Amino acid sequence: MARVLVTGSADGLGLMAGKLLVEGGHAVTLHARNEERAAHTWREVPQAEDVLVGDFAALSAARAVAARADASGRFDAVIHNAGVGYRWRERRTTEDGLSEVFAVNVLAPYLLTALMERPRRLVWVSSGMHRSARGDLSDLQWERRRWDGSGPYAESKLWDVVLAFAIARRWPDVRSNALEPGWVATRMGGPGAPDDLTLGAVTQVWLATSDDPAATGTGGYFFHQRPASVAPAASDPELQDGLLAACAALTGVTLPAA
């Protein structure tokens, strides 16, 4: 049995992953951004150990979730599933003055990773859209570039892979991998998405708990439990170190050394 934290698990892929984990006999802690969604999550997965509450658009909330999770003991795996999409066309900022897409999709998982006791495994949910992103460290908040919704989202998903690979390189004792669920019918993907929703959640759980040799490596990128092509930039140590430094500067939290 593994103890697993799944962020962004009030609905969609995260909720499906939580249910699969419980069905597999694992101890699962889920997460919702507010109390209303947390109550729904409890109804859907009453076997959960806990449902943590915090809106990752605020750095203070991400810190609070990390502290509460850490206080419950070490997790065997953390699935960084929480994220916001690209269906709005204007740039939205948080109470911290940050791009909401960057705060939720990148800084929140960075903070949880840096502040919590290291799990044995980290699973980062990315997107195939990451391959279209540039990865511009000089404009992480998209203040200079024209905001079009999909571009900032795609770049945030590239940063998730960069973080996964950076952790794999810096923490060799942690299995850190990323995946793309495909274009699936979640609130983010829309009802007409053609890929198999179930397989996206299955891959999250597989990377978090399986003893399959393919799931026990580190620094990998997967689609439906198979290795997939990844943007070459994600494997660039200079880009990895630059993103870690930027996240540390924005949050005031430095990733602990190995």
127 inside domain: yes
40 inside domain: yes
For position 21, which CATH number holds? 3.40.50.720
3-state secondary structure of 243: helix
Q: How confident is the model at residue 196 (pLDDT cuts 50, 70, 90)?
A: low
- Average pLDDT over the chain, rounded to whole? 93
- What pLDDT score does 185 carry? 44
128 inside domain: yes
The percent of residues above 70 in pLDDT, for the chain, comes to 93
Of 167, 181, 106, whose CA–CA distance to 142 is shortest? Answer: 106
Q: Which domain holds residue 204?
A: 3-251
Q: Name which of 32-41, 45-54, 178-187, 224-233 the model is least confident about.
A: 178-187
258 inside domain: no
193 compared with 162, residue with greater pLDDT:
162
Average pLDDT over residues 185-205: 64
Q: What is the pTM of this model?
A: 0.94
- For 51, list phi and psi in degrees, rounded to 5: -125, 110
Number of domains in the chain: 1
- What pLDDT score does 112 carry? 98
Find tokens 């170190």 and name the residue: 241
256 inside domain: no
Q: How far is CA 153 from CA 132, 141, 218, 226, in A?
A: 10, 11, 25, 24
- What pLDDT score does 149 carry? 82
Q: How confident is the model at residue 23 (pLDDT cuts 50, 70, 90)?
A: very high
Active site residues: 153, 157
Average pLDDT over residues 226-236: 97
CB count within 10 Å of CB 136 equals 11
User: Using CA atoms, how far apart are residues 49 and 45, in angstroms rounded to an integer?
Assistant: 9
Tens-digit pLDDT profile for residues 64-80: 999 999 999 999 999 99
257 inside domain: no
Residue 87 has pLDDT above 90, yes or no: no
32 inside domain: yes
User: Using CA atoms, how far apart are residues 110 and 51, in angstroms rounded to an integer?
Assistant: 20
224 inside domain: yes
- What residue ranges in the chain does DSSP mark as E strands? 3-6, 27-32, 50-53, 77-80, 121-125, 175-180, 221-223, 226-227
- What pLDDT score does 171 carry? 98
* Contact call for residues 112 and 41 (beta carbons, < 8 A): no
Question: DSSP labels for 80-142?
Answer: E-----S---S--B-TTSSBHHHIIIIIHHHHHHHHSPPPSEEEEE--GGGGG----GGGTT-
CB count within 10 Å of CB 47 equals 13
Tens-digit pLDDT profile for residues 45-54: 999 999 999 9
Residue 187 has pLDDT above 90, yes or no: no
Strands across the sheet with 3-6, in order? Answer: 50-53, 27-32, 3-6, 77-80, 121-125, 175-180, 221-223, 226-227
Residue 244: both structure tokens together: 């870690």
